[in-house]
Amino acid sequence: MMDQLDDRKLEEMLRAAFEASTRIYQERGFQRRIGFGRRPALVSVDLANAWTRPGNPFTCDQLAMDAEIIPGMQKLLAACRANGHPVIHVTTAYEITDRDAPFTDMGLWHCKIPIEVVSTTDTELWAIDSRIAPVDGEHTLLKKRASAFHGTPLAGILRAAGVDTILVTGVTATACVRTTICDGLAEGFRTIAVRDCIGDRVPGAVAWNLYDIDAKFADVHSADECVAYLETVDGARVAAE
């Protein structure tokens, strides 16, 4: 109960800070809108069991996961599948998990966080959560870095499909989602952060990052707004032109 009260107090403090800093951003020309394009794709980052289920160092807020993120993802997936929009699931795992190995596929990330607990040998850990599991025709990419673009064929897959807009979901707001959004914008895609389908493991992290992302790197929209877009944009026709 006390944790819930503390979280609410933190959210109130963040909202007050956002209101004050919004004025500064807008006066200086930030918070412009990038808008939805004509050919969207859903990019789901690290919604795999090591992040979505309890008991792992990477486990994220389970209340948000079960009550908001997974249900929101299910709505987005249904809209993508019904309307022919591409879906790319992204997960993370490592082949060389010995920190003392002379070389690894981790870079030096293991010097900061316990990424060695996600080994490619434990396929269940890095498998996409069964509640939002990929279906035939959807890509699943394995990444080694925070960004889903870094060292993966994601940009090429999107461009080959004629995609101009990416709806980004997943975890965590502070790292893999944020860097994917930043790289997506840099790669020339219209970036949309799906507010209620992005999580983290630290209180306040999602609210702060989405606020800052909305000012600099992406438009932030609700899952319902994104579903409405997915159901009305004629992406299949555009892709065929």
Q: Which of 60, 176, 182, 226 is catalytic?
A: 176
What is the full DSSP assignment across 175-222?
THHHHHHHHHHHTTPEEEEEEEEEE-SSTTHHHHHHHHHHHHT-EEE-
Closest CA to 113 of 60, 57, 152, 151: 57
**Ramachandran angles phi, psi of 57, nearest 5°:** -55, -25
Establish whether 176 is a catalytic residue: yes
3-class state of residue 104 by DSSP:
coil
Closest CA to 50 of 112, 109, 93, 7: 93
**Strands of the 87-92 sheet, one edge to the other:** 139-143, 87-92, 40-45, 165-171, 190-199, 219-221
Closest CA to 118 of 98, 134, 97: 97
Asked if 68 and 196 touch (Cβ cutoff 8 Å), the reply is yes
Asked if 182 and 148 touch (Cβ cutoff 8 Å), the reply is no
- Active-site residues: which are they? 176
